[in-house]
Amino acid sequence: MIRTVSTTPYDDQKPGTSGLRKKVPVFQQPNYAENFIQSVFDSLEGFAGKTLVVGGDGRFYNREVIQKVIAMAVANGFGRVVVGQGGILSTPAASNLIRKRKAFGGLILSASHNPGGPHEDFGIKYNAENGGPAPEKMTDAIYARSKTISSYKIADVGQVDLDRTGTFEVGGIKVEIVDPVADYAALMETLFDFDALRALFKSGFRMRFDAMHAVTGPYAKEILERRLGAAEGTARNFVPLEDFGGHHPDPNLVHAKHLYDEMMGPNAPDFGAASDGDGDRNLVIGRGIFITPSDSLAMLAANAHLAPGYKSGLKGIARSMPTSGAADRVAEKLGISIYETPTGWKFFGNLLDAGMATICGEESAGTGSDHVREKDGLWAVLLWLNILAVRGESAKDIVAKHWATYGQNYYSRHDYEEVETDKANALVDELRGKLASLPGTSVQGMKIVSADDFAYNDPVDGSVSKNQGIRVLFEGGSRVVFRLSGTGTSGATLRVYIERYEPDPSRHGQDTQAALADLILAADDIAGIRSHTGRDRPSVIT
């Protein structure tokens, strides 16, 4: 039986950088999830009889919301719902399933790198038929709808067994429970030289992959250990837990410090990696060398042709604006275009669909390619492994040679988390107000050549996205960028991105914070971070 339930709008259902993210108790308010799901459906047209993909990163409340999605998909007229077994689908695997099944779209339930549990974070995001995150005009429409919604439709279908694979009749439509790993692993086999990777592991190459008790555990076990023959124990923390074992499933130098320590230690494996809650991020660390995500993007792009899936070269590279310019130098050398987009994977979709870019990346540990329409943690790890196998060199040597060829972009991000929202807004407002007067002035002995608020003109559909981050550029190419996070769930997070380009090989490989010290001081001089926030140091440095 299909019921139409009356409801009243919530005023806070505006999707951020990557979908709607809130604390679990917010999602547990009466009709909260239902309102948002119905607002998504109401913003779409023509899905009657079509397929919807749904899955999540396994965090607390995942299963409950999947049941709601199935019941509402039945009531709203979808013809089929494809669900990852146990409610599990990594973000890139969901993107792949949407594409492979020619689905109308999908709902991905995740708050990514944010912690999980009854009092932590949950999230819902809609991905369109290209497998990519809904573009801004769609998320704007969803938000607008959420403010006027007065009812939603739901079918009484009882609890669907999410753990048994197969196709079942539910409320007159088909619900298909699929192995979350199979199609994804098959896709990886088409892109990378699995024989070469098997030979690499057979030769004694040792690796550590930390799934951080999040969604990539089953993927890493299957691909690295079972298919590629990496030693058992290569994947660590591989059982997805509803609360990620109480940790932040955020693969950075703070939350994956144990991995960093191991990779810098005396008995370090050859290669270390970690992924986040929903499997779209990657952290890569060679023995004795941390590779910044911005550098990793550049190095993957420079070497991608060594993997079968990219042997004919790249069409272009795209990076988010705050990501370092390391990839730009690779694009220049390859004679291909580089695109600079706002933060968030949704801005890469058009470039990938139009065949203008093959590889994309963000400084926040996100890299991916046109194989799906999301960033993809394990993909990046496998591409690194393929490059290591073909070049037969250590990651450390590859990094040193890359810097010697292209120069080094020293890069760091300083996050000030849970700042009071009005204080963070005051900082940004003041900064915006003085942008025009900055060029020509000097801070910490460095001359500012330009300062602006980044706006993006999408070259494919002509849409314009304004206020995407404040950037201050110094003579010589150094820069600092300021923006507020769009994924947090309490207060505001100020992100400060700091970058210096160093062409001279004799000055490569220094301590990053030391190499950026004057720019870090300059950032505070320019934005008054301490005075506005009352903080004397960042909460997280990556």
Q: Does 57 bind Co ion (CB under 5 A)?
A: no
- Residue 415 in 3-state DSSP? strand
Check if 112 is active-site.
yes
Q: Does 255 bind ligand VG1 (CB under 6 A)?
A: no
Q: Does 17 bind ligand VG1 (CB under 6 A)?
A: yes
Q: Does 280 bind ligand VG1 (CB under 6 A)?
A: yes
3-state per-residue secondary structure call for 316-357: EEEEECCCCCHHHHHHHHHCCEEEEECCCHHHCHHHHHCCCC
Q: Which among 80-88, 283-291, 359-367, 498-506 is the span making contact with ligand VG1, rule CB under 6 A?
A: 359-367
Q: Does 296 bind ligand VG1 (CB under 6 A)?
A: no
CA distance 208 to 185: 19
User: What x-and-dash track marks residues 103-132 binding ligand VG1 by CB under 6 A?
Assistant: ---------xx-------------------
Q: What is the helix (H) or strand (E) element at residue 23, kind and residue range? A: strand 20-23
Least CB distance to Co ion at residue 90 (A): 9
Of 227, 214, 141, 152, which is closest to residue 184 (Cα–Cα)? Answer: 227
Q: Please name the amino acid found at residue 465.
A: S
Least CB distance to Co ion at residue 417 (A): 17
Least CB distance to ligand VG1 at residue 225 (A): 24
Cβ distance 10 to 35 under 8 Å?
yes
Q: What is the DSSP letter of 180?
A: T
Strand 359-362 and strand 316-320: pairing?
Answer: parallel
120, 210, 225, 276: residue in contact with Co ion (rule CB under 5 A)? 276
Least CB distance to ligand VG1 at residue 250 (A): 8
Active-site option among 18, 95, 110, 112: 112
Q: Which among 51-59, 65-73, 98-106, 337-345 is the span making contact with ligand VG1, rule CB under 6 A?
A: 337-345
CA distance 176 to 182: 14
CA distance 241 to 245: 6
- Residue 532 in 3-state DSSP? helix
CA distance 56 to 365: 20
User: With respect to ligand VG1, which residue has the nearer C-beta, 292 or 487?
Assistant: 487
CA distance 9 to 36: 9
User: With respect to ligand VG1, which residue has the nearer C-beta, 278 or 502?
Assistant: 278
Least CB distance to ligand VG1 at residue 247 (A): 15
Q: Does 22 bind ligand VG1 (CB under 6 A)?
A: no
CA distance 211 to 496: 27
237, 485, 489, 533: residue in contact with ligand VG1 (rule CB under 6 A)? 485
Q: Which among 5-13, 257-265, 274-282, 419-427 is the span making contact with ligand VG1, rule CB under 6 A?
A: 274-282
Cβ distance 481 to 413 under 8 Å?
no
Q: Does 362 bind ligand VG1 (CB under 6 A)?
A: yes
**Could you say which of Co ion, ligand VG1, none residue 412 binds, taking C-beta under 5 to 8 angstroms by partner kind?**
none
Question: Which residues are marked as active site?
Answer: 112
